Amino acid sequence: MSEPFFANSPEELPGAEELAQMSGLEFIQAIMEGQIAAPPISRLMNYRLTEAEKGRVVFRGAPSFDVYNPLGTAHGGWYGTLLDSCMACAIQTMVGRGRGYTTLEYKINIIRPVPLGMEVDAIGEAQHVGRSTGVAVGRMVGVEDGRVYATGSTTCIVMTPRG
């Protein structure tokens, strides 16, 4: 696995023509291998793609002080971003050439706070991917302690992106 490089402008993100040449799994694996720019949100939220196979994606991240709320814990949006990413990308790995997704809805349950700087794996697993919808679940697990910090579920719309 190569180090990811992050898009610094919209022009560095893949376009519809590039997406049309790859299956969803090929697309996600190309990001993981550093062949396609990783989305800037992953730099902002301090996470990276570490595993991708059909129906399963793992992002590893750690909350930085920049995502802390006034109570001194990681903001719920940080949990939501990592879980939305892993669950939706698990669905993406199941779609055919030229197809994509967008999140319709997701739900998360924060079980316990992730300490500042502690690495977690956000693991997304697709449960169903059809012609028009996909459903996935996710969990956030401490890398060192194996404890579950949050769980989630999502429904995505599967579609052909417009260029």
CATH of the domain at 35: 3.10.129.10
Buried b vs exposed e over 67-93: b needs ≥16 C-beta within 10 Å?
beeeeebbeeebbbbbbbbbbbbbbbb
| Structural domains counted in the chain | 1
Residue 146 is part of which domain span? 10-159
pLDDT of residue 2: 58
Looking at the whole model, is its pTM more than 0.85? yes
Residue 5 lies in a domain: no
Residue 1 lies in a domain: no
On the question of pLDDT at 163 being above 60, the answer is no
**Is the CB of residue 58 less than 8 Å from the CB of residue 50?**
yes
On the question of pLDDT at 76 being above 70, the answer is yes
**Which pairs from 60-67 meet CB under 8 Å and 24+ separation?**
60/119, 60/120, 60/121, 60/122, 60/143, 61/119, 61/120, 61/122, 62/114, 62/117, 62/118, 62/119, 62/120, 63/114, 63/115, 63/116, 63/117, 63/118, 64/116, 64/117, 65/116
pLDDT of residue 162: 59
pLDDT tens for each residue of 8-44: 777 777 776 777 789 999 999 999 998 888 888 999 9
On the question of pLDDT at 49 being above 90, the answer is yes
> Average pLDDT, stretch 80-90?
97
pLDDT of residue 161: 65
Residue 155 lies in a domain: yes
pLDDT tens for each residue of 112-136: 999 999 999 999 999 999 999 999 9
pLDDT of residue 3: 65
pLDDT of residue 10: 75
Name the residue with higher pLDDT: 42 or 6.
42
Residue 100 lies in a domain: yes
Residue 140 lies in a domain: yes
pLDDT tens for each residue of 131-156: 999 999 999 999 999 999 999 999 99
- Burial of residue 43, with CB atoms counted within 10 A of its CB: 0-12 exposed, 13-18 middle, 19 or more buried: middle
Residue 4 lies in a domain: no
